[in-house]
Structure 1
Amino acid sequence: MAKIGYRLKSTANKAVSIYVNFRSPNSVMLETKTGLSVIPTDWSKQKQRTKGRDPHLQQINNTLNNLSAFIDVQINISATNGTLIDKRWLLKIINSFFNKFEQKDPRYLLNFFDDFIKRIIKEHEAGIGVKKSTIKGHKSFFNSLSDYESEIETSIRFDQIDKVFIDDFYGWLLLERKYKSGNANRHLNRLKTLCKEAASSGVKVNPAYSFYKAKKDLDKKYLVIISESEFQKIKSFTPKSNRDVNAKKWMLIGLCIGQRVSDLLKLTKSNVRKSKDGNVYIDITQQKGEKSITVPIKDSEIIDIIDNDFPHKISFQKFNDYMKEICKDCGIDQETTGYLKNENNRLELKTGPKWMFISSHDFRRSFATNFFHKGVPVPVLMNITGHKRESTFFEYIGHKFTKDEQAEAFLKYL
């Protein structure tokens, strides 16, 4: 039988919350509010119950005794079934004991959200609806929202989503979860989507959600660009293993076609064709937006790889690992500042040799940056990279026009 205790956290001269606590089977101390309250002078710290013969105080003691027995039974059931016993579990048990709400009441975010995720998964399996990556994002948001509810010890209803809640949740994502502002904004956009879905289903939703606008990203961006000279270093590098030979081919193709890594690593020889004039083209249907584009290849070494020795499939993770090793061996070691994951899997600002910061995501940005500085028109580059807005493209490559550059650009039309 679990040792279930009760205590007060405040000595204020008013009714304060009674907390329940116990040590879970995996030796983690769990604690949350019971929903009951008492004036501290009516509480016995030693007995962990109210004192006195007042009928109201006796009723509280009876409720605490019954709650202890209920929790103990639920611990045994969950332990037998292999259910994780954590703070979220305890909060659900408390709610169940007091019948605070129906488990599937759609007015509550997590209840509606759970059904929403199940629905979009079924639609995806049927070949319709949102993409797998979108579902993954919603699952991540569900877990964050669930953890937040456990933290504030409250189950959130849609009609409670006001500006105060949105600001508090956003701050919690930044301070407690250590999210970058961009990731936190994506979660708030998912919250907005969820509110729209609930409202369209007839659930009463606080209209404040519709006025939400993404918070401005104040995080300084550290962009990693593989320069033309570094591209030449990779071309002239002689790999020592077959895996590096294969990874090098993907790197060179990636730096020449400017696509997301998800589109790059799906390419096969069937994507390659030659025009009537003998030009080599790669036809691509981009996963994001399902836009079909064609990228020409002019570099003779890349054409030789595509024609005669197309690289074989490789996983995203292995590709990232191998390309870092290649960049290190190539001497791409200029001192660079950027974000790297620490031992807790959180991004941390660090300074080190450039190869440490390079990832496959930088190929597309390097392509866009290098060809922009060669004078290729921005609309042509945007058509290849898949950017829809010019402002987004310039932010992506980290380019800001000076006043003189703006004036010189205008002079070309005079």
Structure 2
Amino acid sequence: MRDTNTPDNFAIFDKEFQNKFTNWAYHTARRKQGGYSHNTVVATFSVLKIWLNGATEAGLITTKDYRKYPSKGEDVDNIALTVDEIEAIYRLNIPKLISEGVIDTKSTIEATRDLFIVGCWTGLRRADIARINEALFDLANNRLTIQTQKTNEKVIIPLHPFVCELYAKYHGRFPKLIDKSKANGQLQELGRLAKIDELTSRSSVRGGKIVTEHLMKYQRIGFHTGRRSFATNLYLQGAPTISIMKMTGHKTEQSFLKYIKVSKVEHSELMQKFFK
């Protein structure tokens, strides 16, 4: 706490701490990057409140002011890929691109692509894709079962044809997933090669201000895009919300509807199916 000359004791967590910390996070910390984002600040408060609850139980702190610290962030402005965009990535001829010198011969990009496709058609989080070999693949009944890491909940997901093809490709043992940063970089390169180059805008609150940047869609692809794409595409195809939630693990319809990425035009087109 050297930046703000704040003492190192529990007495600092009073009514003023929220404003002091927020001001530091927005304006002092990471000045070159414009400060921390709003959601990062809120996430920090959420973790802090857990620690302070423990400190209260241990008799180390008596004030209850910390319980009013914010713990709910804003909706994240992320993307989802369409069914056609997912297939474009899946159909990339990576061996050919390697032979042409477009992709390095030692690259693990093909394995990353294949695991991402699994995510796009199972809705699993990155942590569960990393342990996909623990899943039970029931080919006779065309489904997989896995105990999710984050919620410790068992989910049962039907097998998409692409997932079945990849299961056969690797003889039932999928490759190891590389670290997050490198994998996301490879996914963005795959998106570029698949010509997912629509110009998009992304807005976020950083340093207490709304910052909007313009990026190609492929520049915004990450492993979590697969999970969002799974939920969004099933929703657009008319799958019951409750059924999708059973596979994604969402507890409430409100949180699920914030999660999917459906434009007003797509909502209109979806409703036209019912009118017809």
TM-score by length of 1: 0.54
C-alpha distance in 1, partners of 2:90/2:41? 39
C-alpha distance in 2, partners of 1:158/1:180? 25
The answer to whether the aligner puts 1:264 opposite 2:121 as a matched pair is no
C-alpha distance in 2, partners of 1:216/1:314? 29
Alignment of 1:30-41 (within 5 A): none
CA spacing shift, 1:162–1:270, aligned 2, 3 Å: closer
Cα deviation for residue 349 of structure 1 reads 4.6
CA spacing shift, 1:166–1:244, aligned 2, 3 Å: closer
CA spacing shift, 1:249–1:200, aligned 2, 3 Å: same
* Structure 2 letter corresponding to 1:258: G
The answer to whether the aligner puts 1:297 opposite 2:159 as a matched pair is yes
Alignment of 1:327-342 (within 5 A): 327-338=191-202
C-alpha distance in 1, partners of 2:5/2:88? 56
Query: Which segments of 5 or more consecutive residues in structure 2 lack a partner in the other structure?
Result: 30-34, 99-104, 205-210
* Structure 1 letter corresponding to 2:18: I
Instruction: Check conservation: 2:134, 2:146, Cα contact below 8 A.
Output: no
* Structure 1 letter corresponding to 2:201: T
The match for 2:88 is: 233
C-alpha distance in 1, partners of 2:116/2:61? 51
The match for 1:167 is: 19
CA spacing shift, 1:153–1:367, aligned 2, 3 Å: same
Query: Which segments of 5 or more consecutive residues in structure 1 lack a partner in the other structure?
Result: 1-148, 341-347
The answer to whether the aligner puts 1:360 opposite 2:219 as a matched pair is no
CA spacing shift, 1:267–1:393, aligned 2, 3 Å: same
Q: Percent identity?
A: 22
Cα deviation for residue 308 of structure 1 reads 3.9
Partner secondary structure for residue 371 of structure 1: helix
Q: Which has the higher contact order (CA 8 A, sep 6+)?
A: 2
* Structure 2 letter corresponding to 1:210: R
The match for 2:167 is: 306
Alignment of 1:110-149 (within 5 A): 149=1
* Structure 2 letter corresponding to 1:390: E
Cα deviations by residue, 1:158-202 (Å, 9 ceiling, x for unpaired): 234221122221222222231111111111122222221111112
C-alpha distance in 2, partners of 1:271/1:262? 16
Cα deviation for residue 335 of structure 1 reads 0.7
Cα deviations by residue, 1:276-325 (Å, 9 ceiling, x for unpaired): xx3322221111011111111142x4312213425311313332222222
Alignment of 1:398-413 (within 5 A): 398=261
Partner secondary structure for residue 205 of structure 1: coil
* Structure 2 letter corresponding to 1:172: W
* Structure 1 letter corresponding to 2:89: I
C-alpha distance in 2, partners of 1:200/1:233? 54
* Structure 2 letter corresponding to 1:290: N
Cα deviation for residue 330 of structure 1 reads 0.9
Partner secondary structure for residue 351 of structure 1: strand
Instruction: Check conservation: 2:228, 2:261, Cα contact below 8 A.
Output: no
Cα deviations by residue, 1:137-169 (Å, 9 ceiling, x for unpaired): xxxxxxxxxxxx212213143234221122221
Instruction: Check conservation: 2:135, 2:146, Cα contact below 8 A.
Output: no
Cα deviation for residue 400 of structure 1 reads 8.6
* Structure 2 letter corresponding to 1:212: Y
Instruction: Check conservation: 1:170, 1:184, Cα contact below 8 A.
Output: yes
The match for 2:49 is: 192
Partner secondary structure for residue 163 of structure 1: coil
Partner secondary structure for residue 177 of structure 2: coil
Alignment of 1:10-409 (within 5 A): 149-177=1-29, 178-214=35-71, 217=74, 221-239=76-94, 240-241=97-98, 243-268=108-133, 271-274=136-139, 278-299=140-161, 301-309=162-170, 310=172, 311-317=174-180, 318-338=182-202, 349-398=212-261
C-alpha distance in 1, partners of 2:216/2:11? 51
